[in-house]
A = this chain, B = another copy of it.
Amino acid sequence: MRDALVEAAFELFSERGFEQTTVDDIVSLAGVGRRSFFRYFPSKEAVVFPDHDGCLADMTALLEQADPTGDPVAQVCDAARLVLRMYAGNPAFSVGRYQLTKKVPNLRTHELSVVWRYERTLASHLRTRYAARADGALRADVIAAAVVAAHNFALRAWLRSGGEGDVGAAVDEALQLVIDTWGDGAAEGRAESQDEEVVVMVARRGTPMWRVVQGVEAALEP
Contacts and interface: CB of A to CB of B under 8 A. Distances in A.
A220 B216 contact: no
A140 to B, nearest CB: 9
Judged by DSSP, the binding face of A is helix
Contacts of A132: none
A27 interface: no
A189 B199 CA distance: 10
**What number of copies of this chain does the assembly contain?**
2
Interface residues of A, number: 55
Interface string A57-71: 000000000000000
Interface stretch (A13-21, A33-41, A87-95, A174-182): A174-182
16 contacts: A109-B112, A137-B153, A138-B153, A138-B154, A138-B174, A139-B177, A142-B178, A145-B146, A145-B149, A180-B210, A181-B181, A186-B208, A198-B203, A198-B205, A213-B216, A216-B216
